[in-house]
């Protein structure tokens, strides 16, 4: 996929999507299945990115999701997945690269990590877990508003 523009100097290609890390724990099964009240679910997310190969314009972006379900202080399940992508990005101005790596790339990875997490939870014997859409643009803006201004 290439980003269209007035010239053909910007390239944005998705080279590969892969699971970098995955983990699932259900330490209190089968007792967790006997509870009638649904557990409290919390979701944490993280974004990492780095240039992999400068001459080939390759960047890795990774989206991590950790889901913890607990009932009365006991862990029902813990599901973690780090979904990564290898992106070829060239011609994007340096000041715009953080937006591409922290908004565009995670937006592409989100459906894949959602499926990975949901599959882990269902294979663990629990009901389907739907992760709500994430506004990466708003998160990026909040992150940069919170950073101290340097003079």
Estimate the share of the chain in helix, then strand, then coil, as percent rounded to the nearest 5: 30, 40, 30
Kindly state the DSSP code that residue 95 receives in the 8-state scheme. G
Mean pLDDT, consecutive 10-residue segments, the chain of 151 residues? 56 96 96 92 96 93 97 95 97 93 96 97 94 90 74 54
Specify the CATH number for the domain of residue 141: 3.10.420.10
For residue 93, the enclosing domain spans: 11-146
What is the structure's pLDDT at 8? Answer: 56
Q: Is residue 28 part of a domain?
A: yes
Record the pTM.
Answer: 0.86
The total of structural domains in the chain comes to 1
Task: Name 10's Cβ contacts closer than 8 Å, sequence gap at least 6.
Answer: 2, 3, 90, 91, 92
Kindly state the DSSP code that residue 5 receives in the 8-state scheme. -
User: Using CA atoms, how far apart are residues 121 and 113, in angstroms rounded to an integer?
Assistant: 12
């Amino acid at each position: 996929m290439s980003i269209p523009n007035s010239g053909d100097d910007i390239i944005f290609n998705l080279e590969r999507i892969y699971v970098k890390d995955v983990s699932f724990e259900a330490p209190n099964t089968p007792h967790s299945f006997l509870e009638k009240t649904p557990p409290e679910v919390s979701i944490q997310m993280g974004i990492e990115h780095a240039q992999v190969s400068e001459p080939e314009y390759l960047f890795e972006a990774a989206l991590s999701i950790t889901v913890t379900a607990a009932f009365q202080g006991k862990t029902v399940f813990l599901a973690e997945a780090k979904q990564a992508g290898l992106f070829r990005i060239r011609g994007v101005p340096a000041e715009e690269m953080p937006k591409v790596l922290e908004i565009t790339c995670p937006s592409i990875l989100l459906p894949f990590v959602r499926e990975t997490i949901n599959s882990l939870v269902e294979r663990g014997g629990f009901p389907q877990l739907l992760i709500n859409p994430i506004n990466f643009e708003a998160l990026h803006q909040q992150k940069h508003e919170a950073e101290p201004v340097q003079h």
